[in-house]
């Protein structure tokens, strides 16, 4: 798998806008390979974003999310220099974490 995530966090007025591009194949479990065998499901199940130890986003995803998903959200309270941490876990137990500094 390539870099697990690319994160940008920037002030947008009085809120922080976070943009995350996650690298993941996101298989639904419904496709078949060239031999006709079902390709097992493999997708991001949980996404969590924290700022100063406080959860600002918590999401549960399923197999219908596209490959290499993009996520954008805003939250109040952040300031330049603070850190935003994003963690995802897939249905096979793989977990990735990355962080960005608010600009």
User: Tokens at residue 39, please?
Assistant: 């390709």
Predicted confidence at residue 2, as pLDDT, reads 54
Q: Which residues of the chain register pLDDT less than 70?
A: 1-2
Produce one character per residue of 30-67: b if its CB has 16 or more CB atoms within 10 Å, e if not: eeeeeeeeeeebbbbbebebbbeeeebbeeebeeebee
Give the global pTM.
0.90
Predicted confidence at residue 77, as pLDDT, reads 96
Predicted confidence at residue 4, as pLDDT, reads 77
The CATH homologous superfamily of the domain defined by 6-28+41-102: Immunoglobulins (2.60.40.10)
């Amino acid at each position: 798998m390539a870099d697990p995530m690319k994160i940008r966090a920037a002030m947008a007025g009085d809120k922080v806008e976070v943009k995350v591009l996650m690298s993941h194949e996101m298989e639904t479990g419904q496709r078949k390979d060239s031999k006709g065998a079902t390709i097992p499901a493999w997708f991001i199940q949980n996404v969590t974003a924290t700022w100063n130890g406080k959860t600002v986003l918590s999401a549960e995803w399923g197999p219908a999310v596209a490959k290499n998903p993009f996520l954008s959200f805003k939250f109040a309270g952040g300031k330049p220099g603070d850190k935003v941490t994003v963690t995802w876990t897939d249905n096979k137990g793989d977990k990735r974490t990355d962080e960005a500094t608010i600009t």
